[in-house]
Amino acid sequence: MKKPSRENRKQTGCSCWGDCTCSEKAKGPEPWYSFRNCVTHISIIIISVLMARFWLHVIYPSSFVALAGKDPLDAPVWHEVPCSNDYEEEVFLECKPKRCGRAVMDNLVSRDDAEHLLRLAKRGLSHGGSNGGASILDLHSGALSMGDKFVNIFKIAETDDSLFTEEDFRIYRRVKDQIRQAVADKFDVPVDKLHLTKPTFFSRMDTKKAQTKHDEYWHVHVDKETYGSFHYTSLLYLTTYKNDFQGGRFVFADKDYNRTVEPRVGRVSFFTSGSENPHFVERLREGVRYAITVSFTCDPAKAIADPKIK
């Protein structure tokens, strides 16, 4: 078959993107060139979309499953995962993880204690707050987010005797000890080998636009890479998903699913801090989310003391 001239192809009025069957509507030679290109373009688009969906699923699985939903748990939840090799070279034989995973408990910390700590967090953070959507209060170092930097909350407390009380720190220590014991029991670690480490802090997340990388809490990360001293990470939630905020679920970014922990007042989750537990916090859409990160190490050289009124 003789290839149609450019002039004849123009006369057909055929447009690849407009109509692949335009030969039925136009007189003249068959627009084989346009039809072939149309099929090629569509095939490329379909293949590109399928490949993009495949790689997005591999990197960030689109399916979310609840490890612990918003409703109260009848019993603690445990999800075991294979340990990474992050701990192989470490010398803390009695303490470093022998098995790995994540646990969620609803009856470890009393609601009264959780609500007391929420009031403490709000009092402290009311004296500062970042320009972006994530603020922290660290009662160990005194660090308080203020704009795009940090200030010392204990300097502020020197002019405000009502900011902190001995009762605040007594409850803080009690809750920390309850979580420490639960972590030790679950991972078969002698409790005296498990040390509080930094950073351990209150966090407040809201919907303000991120101003620095510290405000972008929604990126996947590994605690042992971000904070070298961590062996076990725990969180105590002080507000409740869907009641106090929308979004803000804690997400384990596993290869098959994104497994979520939906915060509720008094809920504790804890997990081994290595690359077997990559995670992120879902971006908030509404409201304010409060929590405490309580971190533990096996290295006594990285231990920090309990906080106290300065």
- The predicted-structure confidence for 121-130, as pLDDT tens digits, reads as follows 999 999 999 9
Strands of the sheet with 250-253, listed across from one edge: 64-68, 258-261, 250-253, 279-281
Residue 252 has pLDDT above 60, yes or no: yes
- pLDDT class for 48, splitting at 50, 70, 90? low
Residue from 204, 259, 267, 289 carrying the catalytic annotation: 289
Pairing between β-strand 100-105 and β-strand 143-147 as defined by DSSP bridges: unpaired
| pLDDT at 83 > cutoff 60 | yes
pLDDT of 41 reads 58
Cα torsion angle, 250, 176, 173, 304, sign:
negative
Mean pLDDT calculated for residue range 109-122: 98
Mean pLDDT of 250-268: 97
Residue 18: which pLDDT band, with cuts at 50, 70 and 90? very low
Give 9's pLDDT tier (boundaries 50, 70, 90).
Answer: very low
| pLDDT higher than 90, residue 283 | yes
Pull the structure tokens for residue 111: 């609601």
Domains of the chain: 6-59 (no CATH), 64-302 (2.60.120.620)
**Residue 310: what pLDDT?**
73
User: Is 9 a known active-site residue?
Assistant: no
Contact 282, 244 (CB under 8 A): no
For residue 309, the model assigns a pLDDT of 83
pLDDT at 205: 98
- Confidence at residue 38, expressed as pLDDT on a 0 to 100 scale: 54
What confidence category does residue 142 fall into, taking pLDDT thresholds of 50, 70 and 90? very high
pLDDT of residue 49: 46
Q: Which residues of 8-36 are buried (b: 16+ CB within 10 A; e: fewer)?
A: ebeebebebeebbebbeeeeebebebbbe
What is the pLDDT averaged over residues 94-103?
Answer: 97
